[in-house]
Chain A
Amino acid sequence: MEAELVEADIVVPMQLRFKKIQSYEKYPKGQTRGRWKHLKQILQAENFQDYPPEEPNYINIESPPSNQPCKRICDITGYEAPYVDPRTNLRYANADVFKTVRSLSTEQVHQYLSIRNAAVVLK
């Protein structure tokens, strides 16, 4: 290993005395590592529905939907947006922005929509 790297001391050593089992033994090279359950799968396995609802858990402490009216802002400029372009579904503030909206490529429209999770993926 290069002197500069040794000097910087950034690499985690392979062998660590304080460990009862080393990482390379636990996760041998080349073997497909057991896939880690993602949060969604973890939560499914927790079976929260089997427990009383008054007991707080990861799912039921989540915030409720808002009571306030949904704020609509122009996707491009951030101004308040009274209009929606029926062709692209983008919200826009005024005629100038509308021109920009119509000049966007489908790719860009899609990106703008996916920012606010409104992009429809046709399969």
Chain B
Amino acid sequence: MGSISFVSKIRRQTDYNTFSPSIPIVIDNGASYFRIGWAGETEPRLIFRNIVQRPRHKATGETVTIVGDLDPALMKYFDCTRSGPRSPFDSNVVYQFEMMEYILDFAFDRLGADGSVIDHPILITECACNPVQSRSKMAELLFETYGVPAVAFGVDAAFSYKYNQLHGICKKDGIVVCPGFTTMHTIPFVDGEPVYKGSCRTNIGGYHVTDYLKQLLSLKYPFHSSRFTWEKAEDLKLEHCYIAPDYAIEVRKFQEGTKEAEEKTRYWQLPWIPPPIEVPPSEEEIARKAAIREKQGQRLREMAEAKRSSRINEMENELQSLHFLVKQLDQVEEDEIPSFLSDTGYASRQELESTVSKVTQSLRKARGEPKNEPAESEENTDSFNNDKYPLIIVPDDMLTSEQLKEKKKQIFLKTTTEGRLRARQKRNEEELEKERRNQLEEERQRENPEFYLEEMRAQYKEVLERVEQKKRVKTNGTSTNGNNKSGGVGRGERLSAAQRERMRLLTTAAFDRGKGEDTFGSRDEDWQLYKRMSKDHDEDDEQPDSDEAELARLSSKLQEIDPTFVQKAEGESIQPSGEAPRVRPLTEEDYKIVIGIERFRCPEIMFHPNLIGIDQVGLDEMGGASIKRLPHSDSELEERLTSSILMTGGCSLVPGMKERLESGIRMLRPCGSLIHVIQAVDPVLDAWRGASAFAANLNFLGNAFTKMDYYEKGEDWLRRYQIRYNNL
């Protein structure tokens, strides 16, 4: 991992056998990192992430166990599809002892153990007030599986405080503030012993900060969300996050876009490869392409011409032979005609003649000559009408019944013709009107193109909104967002307005029966009910939607004049602004991740857990809450406690933590109180070092218990079990 402050050490140790069985092994079993080493030494021998992966080895098919971080370069040998990294922890409590066992296996193996048992006492850390179930499972595992002679449990934050007390950093009365990986603790110390009664735990830690950062960035850049892995977010957090002295003031700087905010903004440029630039084709290129196209067109035209002429030729030949046949037929004697015709395949003279005329017709058509039918005259004048319908103007009484019938027919014909004419006229007028409107619009466009474009856009948006609204109402009566794409109505799903109405009708119809007199059908409207009930009934579809037509017109117009215009796809909602829009080519800018407010917004959850929905006090208030929880109110003791506040744990390394903690606690304490916040020598390793010093003490075994103790003294004893830190 490319982190700054946490380094894994997993080099195999070879000096295990040089340590006598009386020297304890010290383990700091943290939720993020596992540290193991020898009592009395200042550095742990091994440090690795407290996670297990059990992928399948591709070559052999075996499931293998890998503890700690895995070099990504070696991932190719494993199939990790079914196993992600797993932790033995739930919050800060060990619950998965199978994973814990793999981790201990790895740790002891790397420490160089090769005897038949682990013949050393073990001091292992646990969380404050660890549930007895977890504590006893851990003891059982160490005794039964590894044959450990004695075990002691202690709290990491307490060891860290004791270690710093040993170095004169903090006093025997004080408070340890420990923001860790999954939880934050404050534990008061009185006379050098932790008072768990006064301790406080908020279930927020570095894990939550990283997760918050990861989620915020993924939501801000949905386009790149796959880039924000947990490990990457952790790196970004370690590199960039800081705690604002005052969140509100700091955020206002960013909101107003001050220079300071600009300087505080960090960027992460993702690898970006510019797309190949399209060079506009040169003049020659265009000319060349046009020439090729022209040549191809010429060839096609020639081919078509050749085909046509061959067809004409064929038909001419056929016509000639037919003419010849007719001539022959003329010469043949009357009684020999049938036999002559049967030889040629024609039944009669008429058929032959009709064939001749047919071929002549098609030949004409092929040659492109006009048909010899008279073109229908379009002009219908009154005089012509009078010629065509002579009986109309003649009064009825002057006509015979035959003529009357004829007159009726003529009247009918006349009215229909006139109707057609009128319709045609109307169409013409409409077209003219449209033309006029288009001209008007073009004029306006010429006068002020920008304004016109704006207007068009506004219109388009308005109509679009209207159409969508209508659609929403249709599909889902009162839906807040038109995302209900499922047409079917399942259990629990909401019905659309139309569907609801139909259901209502059906139920009323069903329950109406038998109630009083049945008068259904006495009125004509009653029968309308069935029409309304029928499933396909949809009033909107009966008339074409004028809005939709308008929308189509506007969008086509906009497409003509606006190069940036993109027609919105059917049913697709507007893309979030964070996503790189698809219409324009992506630029380097789109691949730049801006980390501004996130830098201090994420760690802020340690002081305001309610930002991520956890209703508990933040780190500063925890100090006050701890003091309040102490059994006896003693202002002198309180003063001593606040003058020795030690920060330890990985998250106390976030820049700005000390200042913020101090000002936060100052707000809670009486005016003029002495408040002194100190950072531990090494917030990450001090817990292990304190434990190592504790285990090196001669009195250590008095604080540990053996397998015999474990089985004889019972669970209740184990629950109350607590080491005496003053032995350090």
Contact = CB atoms under 8 A, between A and B. Distances in A.
A12 B610 contact: no
A74 to B, nearest CB: 9
Contacts of B615: 65-66
Nearest to B144: A20
A57 B616 contact: no
Interface in B172-204: 196-197, 199-203
A18 B146 contact: yes
Contacts of B207: none
Nearest to B128: A61
Contacts of A19: 105, 145-146
A109 B219 CA distance: 10
Contact of B101 (A8, A23, A116): A23
Interface stretch (B131-139, B422-430, B530-538, B551-559): B131-139
Nearest to B720: A55
B102 interface: yes
Contact of B133 (A45, A66, A112): A45
A16 B251 CA distance: 55
Contact of B60 (A1, A20, A71, A76): A1
Contact of B74 (A5, A76, A104): A5
B160 to A, nearest CB: 18
A107 B127 CA distance: 37
Nearest to B117: A18
B483 interface: yes
A79 B251 contact: yes
B267 interface: no
Interface string A1-43: 1101100111111001111110100110100010011110011
B118 interface: yes
A33 to B, nearest CB: 7
Interface stretch (B32-40, B64-72, B440-448, B463-471): B64-72
B97 A103 contact: no
Interface in B34-66: 57, 59-60, 63-66
A38 B196 contact: no
B446 to A, nearest CB: 33
B608 A71 contact: yes
B714 to A, nearest CB: 15
Contacts of B197: 54, 56
Given A62-B203, A103-B575, A18 B116 contact: yes
A103 B74 contact: no
Contacts of B200: 61-63
Contacts of A37: 95, 133
B98 interface: yes
A118 to B, nearest CB: 6
B63 to A, nearest CB: 7
Contacts of B66: 10-12
A63 B617 contact: yes
Interface in B604-630: 608-618, 621-622, 625
What is the interface residue range for chain B against chain A? 35 or more
Chain A contact residues, majority secondary structure: loop
A61 B186 CA distance: 10
Contacts of B201: 61-63
A12 B48 CA distance: 14
B394 to A, nearest CB: 75
Nearest to A105: B573
B612 A117 contact: yes
Given A1-B60, A42-B133, A65-B615, A16 B70 contact: no
A67 interface: yes
A39 B95 contact: yes
Contacts of A93: 255
A113 to B, nearest CB: 9
B710 interface: no
Contacts of A79: 251, 254-255, 597
A116 B613 contact: yes
Contacts of A108: 219, 222, 576
B77 A12 contact: no
B222 A56 contact: no
Given A10-B70, A106-B483, A61 B199 contact: yes
Contacts of B247: 71
A30 to B, nearest CB: 11
B316 to A, nearest CB: 71
B522 interface: no
B74 A17 contact: no
A58 B129 contact: yes
Interface string A82-123: 000001000001000001100111101001100111100000
A112 to B, nearest CB: 6
A63 B255 contact: no
Interface in B572-615: 573-577, 597-598, 601, 608-615
A2 B617 contact: no
A112 B216 CA distance: 8
Nearest to A21: B145
Given A13-B109, A42-B131, A66 B617 contact: yes
B53 to A, nearest CB: 10
Given A56-B196, A63-B202, A93-B255, 4 more contacts: A9-B12, A12-B102, A37-B133, A62-B201
Interface of B: 12, 57, 59-60, 63-67, 70-71, 74, 77, 90-91, 93, 95-98, 101-102, 105-106, 108-109, 113-118, 127-134, 144-147, 196-197, 199-203, 212, 215-216, 219, 222, 247-248, 251-252, 254-255, 480-481, 483, 573-577, 597-598, 601, 608-618, 621-622, 625, 631
17 contacts: A9-B12, A11-B66, A12-B109, A26-B145, A29-B63, A39-B95, A43-B131, A58-B131, A62-B200, A64-B616, A66-B609, A66-B616, A66-B621, A71-B611, A87-B480, A103-B576, A105-B483
Which 10 pairs of residues, A with B, have the shortest CB-CB distance?
A: A117-B613, A56-B196, A39-B90, A78-B597, A12-B65, A63-B616, A116-B613, A78-B601, A63-B202, A18-B113
